Amino acid sequence: MVVIRFLKRGEVILEHIHGGNIKGAVKKYDLDKEKIIDFSANINFLGPPEAVNEEIKANIGGIVNYPEPNSQELKDNLANKLNLSRENIIMGNGAVELIYLLTKVLNPSKSMVLSPTFSEYAIAAKSVGAEVEEFPLDREDNFKLDINTLLNKLDNVDLLFLCNPNNPTGNLLSKSEVIQILDYTKDNGVFLLVDEAFVDFVEKEVTVIDLINDYDNLFVLRSLTKFFAIPGLRVGYGVANQELIQRLSSSKDPWNLNYFAQIATKVALEEEEYIKRSKISIKKEKEFLYNKLKQIEKLRVYYPQVNYIFIDISATELTASYLENTLAKKGILIRNCNSYSGLGEDFIRVAVKSRADNLKLLSALEGIIDDRV
């Protein structure tokens, strides 16, 4: 049985709680910033391409000028790579800005989000007064989405948020499964936002960017900061039919992407060797960390399709908050998943990092769990 839950203001899912809060961790745990190992944010552990650092340093004088309005040159670069028109693309100050922008422009009466999933969908919908329904993913079925059941629950829903791969579970829908949802939503007047923020880490071809001109109810969201390890620059983009992109563009700040974000991302997109090396390194470390975590007694580790790993710790009889705080005191940050709807204190999420950092996490986790056995 699927139980739909209505979200109200003040519930945990409506709080802006995310990983990567280094400054907050330094203050809370009295840590040395340089010695922190951050597994809480799902960022490419190789760091940004060196060409990005060099480009920023070489163009520091450019801060005296306004950035190019609407990031036209960067959009041209993306359009060439995606085989689309510039008019199909909108740049965002991070992908989150575009979630809020789309919600504002569409102004839905009722939205649906999966549970658990990225919290900003519900917050954005609530910000425009929309009613939000949760579609719970079944823990006993490894949080896999039952598509037919979902489609049967879309009556009176204007906007459906779909994160693929899902955050925090990492579960992945195939392209054909997304198309099944697309066909139904198009025929039934439901707009579909497909968030592909982590798709660059996925080995399978699942993107639906190539379908934006076939479905006028589709908006595909992407991040450029996670794979290229530049989250501080805040760069995301959305792809849709030209009419919708025009509506969105007329509702945003023309200088929403700063000067350094524009020039750095343009350079990063051309770093083919970095992209290739990143995919190889992340895959290698993902498999290593997954297999080692599985060997730790009482952890239930979900196989990662992306650069982060979702872990059920309930059998350890430890809480996610206890693990979070105990590891943080050792300078290791993990993502406590208790802020995700429906997960409580039973789950954590860790990013895939370098071999040395992964070994430190494994050693610390084993020590904490062994101490409580």
> Which CATH number does the domain housing residue 363 bear?
3.90.1150.10
Asked if residue 95 and residue 221 are part of one domain, the reply reads yes
Confidence (pLDDT) at 8: 46
The answer as to whether 11 is a domain residue is: no
Q: What CA–CA distances, in Å, run from 113 to 121, 145, 235, 343?
A: 7, 12, 24, 15
In angstroms, the CA 288 to CA 274 distance is 21
Asked if residue 304 and residue 227 are part of one domain, the reply reads no
Asked if residue 116 and residue 232 are part of one domain, the reply reads yes
Q: Tell me the mean pLDDT in the region 76-105.
A: 95
Domain range for 150 is 50-268
- 136 phi and psi, to 5 degrees? -75, 135
Tokens of 229: 């390890």
Asked if residue 256 and residue 236 are part of one domain, the reply reads yes
Residues 221-241: tens digit of each pLDDT: 999 999 999 999 999 999 999
The answer as to whether 3 is a domain residue is: no
Q: What is the mean pLDDT of the chain?
A: 92
Q: What is the 3-state secondary structure (H, E, C) of 162-224?
A: EECCCCCCCCCCCHHHHHHHHHHHHHCCCEEEEECCCHHHCCCCCCCHHHCCCCCCEEEEEEC
Task: List CB contacts of 228: < 8 A, sequence separation 6 or more.
Answer: 44, 48, 49, 52, 265, 268, 271
- Give yes or no for a contact between 215 and 182, defined as CB atoms under 8 angstroms apart: yes
Nearest alpha carbon to residue 123 among 42, 12, 198: 12
Task: Kindly report whether the peptide bond that precedes residue 116 is cis, defined as omega within 30 degrees of 0.
Answer: yes
Number of domains in the chain: 2
Confidence (pLDDT) at 3: 43
Q: Tell me the mean pLDDT in the region 73-79.
A: 94
The answer as to whether 257 is a domain residue is: yes
Asked if residue 260 and residue 217 are part of one domain, the reply reads yes
Q: What percentage of residues in the chain have a pLDDT greater than 70?
A: 94
CATH code, domain with 153 = 3.40.640.10
3-state secondary structure of 131: strand
pLDDT band at 370 (very low <50, low <70, confident <90, very high): confident
Asked if residue 224 and residue 93 are part of one domain, the reply reads yes
Asked if residue 301 and residue 211 are part of one domain, the reply reads no
pLDDT band at 22 (very low <50, low <70, confident <90, very high): confident
Asked if residue 192 and residue 227 are part of one domain, the reply reads yes
Asked if residue 199 and residue 331 are part of one domain, the reply reads no
Confidence (pLDDT) at 24: 78
Residues 160-191: tens digit of each pLDDT: 999 999 999 999 999 999 999 999 999 999 99
**Domain end (from 268, 300, 331):** 268
In angstroms, the CA 159 to CA 174 distance is 21
Confidence (pLDDT) at 373: 54
- Give yes or no for a contact between 79 and 86, defined as CB atoms under 8 angstroms apart: yes
Inform me whether the pLDDT recorded for 293 exceeds 80. Answer: yes
Confidence (pLDDT) at 36: 87
Tokens of 154: 């879309």
Asked if residue 352 and residue 299 are part of one domain, the reply reads yes
Length, in residues, of the chain: 373
Asked if residue 223 and residue 322 are part of one domain, the reply reads no
**Domain end (from 236, 268, 300):** 268
Confidence (pLDDT) at 13: 42
The answer as to whether 102 is a domain residue is: yes
Q: Tell me the mean pLDDT in the region 31-37.
A: 81
- Give yes or no for a contact between 242 and 85, defined as CB atoms under 8 angstroms apart: yes
Q: Tell me the mean pLDDT in the region 351-373.
A: 92
In angstroms, the CA 91 to CA 83 distance is 16
Q: Tell me the mean pLDDT in the region 39-43.
A: 93
Inform me whether the pLDDT recorded for 14 exceeds 60. Answer: no
- 224 phi and psi, to 5 degrees? -110, 0
The answer as to whether 5 is a domain residue is: no
The answer as to whether 10 is a domain residue is: no
Q: Tell me the mean pLDDT in the region 58-64.
A: 93
The answer as to whether 8 is a domain residue is: no
**Domain end (from 268, 290, 307):** 268
Confidence (pLDDT) at 276: 96
Inform me whether the pLDDT recorded for 252 exceeds 70. Answer: yes
Inform me whether the pLDDT recorded for 12 exceeds 90. Answer: no
Asked if residue 91 and residue 163 are part of one domain, the reply reads yes
The answer as to whether 1 is a domain residue is: no
Confidence (pLDDT) at 26: 78
